[in-house]
């Protein structure tokens, strides 16, 4: 289900954003919290940030797909341009689509660590708009 569908009604739209946990225990705590929020608030969607530094990328995928599949809550995965080639991003997006995640928040992302300036990786995207164009082209079958 697309997030835009949540805005078609008259009632307010509620969402939550989670950061991917670093441990298995943190992942279980997050899932319990998401289940509690579902019962109490019935959020229209939950977004999960992207571990751009590489440490929590797999956790991001795990959390967003578990929330989608186990809790039946509409989800949105973040995807940044930081520290990833176009092929790596394409692979990640393919995994998300195959898992039923249809909502992607495309971001350039912050420079890693203490860097002041964003340097796109070789064979990567320089701007979120480049990633968005690729996503649109992919959606249209290009």
pTM for the full predicted model: 0.87
Q: Of the residues 5, 8, 10, 17, which is catalytic?
A: 17
Q: In what order do the strands lie in the sheet with 75-80?
A: 15-18, 45-48, 75-80, 103-107
Report which of 104, 114, 109, 112 is spatially closest to residue 135, judged by C-alpha positions: 104
The per-residue pLDDT for range 26-53, each reduced to its tens digit, is: 999 999 999 999 999 999 999 999 865 5
Examine the residue annotation and report whether 17 is marked as an active-site residue of this protein: yes
Distance CA 37, CA 118 (A): 36
Residue 96: per-residue pLDDT: 94
């Amino acid at each position: 289900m697309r997030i835009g569908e949540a805005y078609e009604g008259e009632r307010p739209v509620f969402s939550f954003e989670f950061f991917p946990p670093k441990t298995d225990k943190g992942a279980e705590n997050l899932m319990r919290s998401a289940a509690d929020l579902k019962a109490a608030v019935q959020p229209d969607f939950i977004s999960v940030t992207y571990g751009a530094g590489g440490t929590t990328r797999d956790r991001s995928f795990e959390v967003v797909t578990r929330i989608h599949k186990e809790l039946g809550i509409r989800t949105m995965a973040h995807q940044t341009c930081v520290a990833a080639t176009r092929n790596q991003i394409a692979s990640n997006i393919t995994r998300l689509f195959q898992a039923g995640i249809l909502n992607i928040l495309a971001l350039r992302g912050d420079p890693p660590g203490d860097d002041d300036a964003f340097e796109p990786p070789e064979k990567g995207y320089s701007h979120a708009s480049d990633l968005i164009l690729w996503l649109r082209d992919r959606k249209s079958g290009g």
